[in-house]
Chains A and B, each alone.
Chain A
């Protein structure tokens, strides 16, 4: 099945993955857009295909990364710092993986959903990993292996203080994945399809330790 059409099939998949037991609202989302780690700033963005209506954006802090003008230097930096040391030599599954999170970047990658239905904003952290298959099992990255529609998976952490509109003071979490990331040579934007699930709930009232201590002191 063509990668550009498989998301249509996923429409039938809506709501199946989401467990509602611990959530007030749950969404099965599909997104389409453009972006590349080879561009600076690193911004993946586009529109929702289903689940929510509106725009989405994922930004990755590329401080310290070489300028895209020297694409070779930039790719080599990314490769050496995120993938090269993480080689899996299991027979038949030879591959590299790279983790992009607060430990490997200057700041945690960020996501923002500007939704028109319901009207609001959801923002927070996104922590993701990318898989690069070593199809030739030789421990050497080949050109085809760099842009073979790499898989990405991620977890989302909603920041309630950044929520707006319908999502003001909304807590929650989610996870998304894609099979369309690439390191094209020469660099070009990836046409991404991302699917995932999101669970939101109204944040409980804050319990401040110092305040609680004061309350307890009243009864001593």
Chain B
């Protein structure tokens, strides 16, 4: 009897987490500046995707970052970019803004969908590539004015409207252009999300207990 209950419970939990997926994508364009506090990149959607009207924002946690401009710039570079230098032709730095690479928290993502009527929240990583065009391992003027970026996305189950009860994962890729010597950046990217109904509660303890029976 216990085995039967376990099978039923596992099936229910699996169904809850791996239900029918909904694919949503949009094209985002906006601006932001790592030198501002709080660090908020945001903007609107461009036509072409499932979401054509609305807004998005990515907030990068800057707790502990210096306020003074020169110190702040150095902190950002030395913490997130400089340790990730890859030799090549050209060599390049990869800026990782995520917990794995020294951030205090993940970047907060908010998407407002005025096309379909809804809002979703989540977290995302931000990966920014800076090419060392003259291969001298020193960031020179002009080397950090444009490039490519990408990231991974998790949508948390606290959306509203058409996204009520949905959660999921996704990714994005795009490019950035800076107003050198200014630090304001313009981002263009495409984001793809796979969402599913997560309204059925998935209790950690229950699932952990089930798995523990087999360990």
A residues apposed to B, CB below 8 Å: 1, 3, 6, 9-10, 12-13, 16-19, 21-23, 86, 88, 90-93, 95, 97, 99, 101-103, 108, 124-125, 127, 129-131, 133, 135-138, 140, 142, 144, 148-149, 151-157, 159-161, 171, 173-179, 195-197, 199, 207, 209
Contact = CB atoms under 8 A, between A and B. Distances in A.
A129 B125 contact: yes
Contacts of A86: 99-100
Contacts of B134: 207
Given A93-B122, A179-B192, A151 B153 contact: yes
A101 B86 contact: yes
A19 B175 contact: yes
16 contacts: A23-B146, A88-B123, A92-B157, A92-B167, A97-B125, A108-B88, A133-B169, A138-B208, A155-B147, A173-B148, A175-B129, A175-B148, A175-B150, A177-B192, A179-B169, A197-B174
Given A127-B129, A129-B127, A176-B173, A151 B86 contact: no
A153 B17 CA distance: 23
Interface in B23-76: 23, 25, 27, 46, 48-49
Interface stretch (B1-9, B90-98, B110-118): B90-98
B202 A197 contact: no
Nearest to A130: B152
Contact of A99 (B17, B89, B96): B96
Chief secondary structure at chain B's binding surface = strand
Given A88-B106, A207-B134, A102 B154 contact: no
A161 B90 CA distance: 10
B27 A17 contact: yes
A140 B211 contact: yes
Contact of A22 (B46, B89, B145, B172): B145
Interface of B: 13-14, 17-18, 21-23, 25, 27, 46, 48-49, 84, 86-90, 92, 94, 96, 98-101, 105-106, 122-123, 125, 127-129, 131, 133-134, 136, 145-154, 156-158, 167, 169-175, 177, 186, 188-190, 192, 194, 202, 204, 207-208, 211
Contacts of A142: 211
A13 B153 contact: no
B173 to A, nearest CB: 4
Q: Across the A-B interface, give the 7 residue pairs with the lowest CB-CB distance, nearest first.
A: A1-B23, A92-B156, A153-B150, A22-B146, A177-B171, A155-B129, A175-B173
Contacts of A21: 146, 177
A13 B202 contact: no
Contacts of B122: 93
B27 A13 contact: yes
Nearest to B190: A17
A123 B152 CA distance: 24
A59 B102 CA distance: 28
Given A92-B158, A99-B96, A173-B131, A16 B150 contact: no
Contacts of A19: 146, 175, 177, 186, 188
